[in-house]
Structure 1
């Protein structure tokens, strides 16, 4: 190695900034901050659990004890409230109705809105932008302002008193937020993947279902959870559409414990718990996919 090269290397070594070791944060300061955050999180968690505690605790009480001892645990745990509520609600039937509507609506929403969002993202035209803004604008329209025209139009189309008619309506109400979420997620998917599939002879239909849609799993899980929560618990739209007793959902069946002159709080609260349990099972069953979806979305 020549003298000039040695001088050049020495100069570069001298110019290289030396790392200054950082002093670790004092344990007291860090632990105090972390402790305050944990305390606030615990208090917020307890605050959110208070209504759930009232529902569960009072669902095991008699009517007299509910009014005289609302906040405390039951003196006698009455499991008979659940058996009576199960029979009065015809729980097996209403559970299947709610499950059919929730699963059917989610399937239709995911299929149609994912394809719509993909086409809107890949079509570089002002018309596609306007259509996307229409989907977004639909999210701010209150349901109460359109429910009377909706019932009239649904009656003309023969969608009333039908599970499938209700699913079609949920497709309309769930499209706005679903297209919005899919649209934002698809922007992170490179178009080169689709172009390579087309060069290999894949059709447009195949590109979406074989290439694009599997990449949408994280956001699809999020959309399914969000839609399941409001569809399963929805009361107003099914009350307008479903007139037959055999077609009732769990919220509608629970509502019938509140009559004009009597209110069966013990059975109603037991019915509410019976309606909450499937959602909790669904959430804990999907917890792995929820965390995976959140982390995957953050990486993208």
Structure 2
């Protein structure tokens, strides 16, 4: 487990948590299954201990995650800014889950930075920003939810506090961020944790159904359109690209979460080592990049598109027009050709 020196010791943190605290849990913008699973899992644990807890997300999140226990307690910052700002200001502890730089929570970031609360980072991404007072950080973890489990079960030594609701949320986070346990990060230890969560009440089959078999008709037709009309395969680079315009998103009534996972279909093509989903949003062009093996998707996103992430799953953004971003992406491939065709 990789950890840096903490300003707040584990003993001091345990002492703080031994008495009721005003706690805020937050996670990155456009939260995914791991962001919400880790946040609501930790929420479910902390409320059992008598703490006053609120989960604040910077933005909305996919409807296929709304089934999770205590989802009704989530405050969306863009919809309730005054209440969220007050809660951050009044908090004694702020848990920052599944992100490690305050720019990842948009306008909420500066409020968190200015807050007097102790800030606890639980995360698995590279290059953390130095804003936290305690850090439970491991880039080898498959999900933030795995680290929340480790935090509760091993650091706080309270596996008994993981009830069915907590287990269900943490299982969701691990399942989604490990690609349903198919990514290399899904180690034997991850499987053991998943088994423990099932023993603690997580209904794995039902969670999978709620997350993956819950698409709207528009979402499914949008996927079909992307695969039939917007998929470009560059065999000379073992790369596949899907591009989507704002107009196409509107045509299929695209909602938050509807583009999630689309890039993986491009990566699933035989022989493809790198895939990108490039989407024209209202303010920027966003990229989701996936790779196989040891090809560094995160390097491309960091170097060329103001982003980052994991080796095989990363993201970025650009202020350029969509067509220019696509051309920039194609142009950089020649520098990686040897790696892509190896």
TM range (shorter): under 0.3
Which structure: greater helix fraction? 1
Higher relative CO (CA 8 A, sep ≥ 6), structure 1 or 2?
1
TM-score (structure 1 length as normaliser): 0.22
Which structure: greater strand fraction? 2
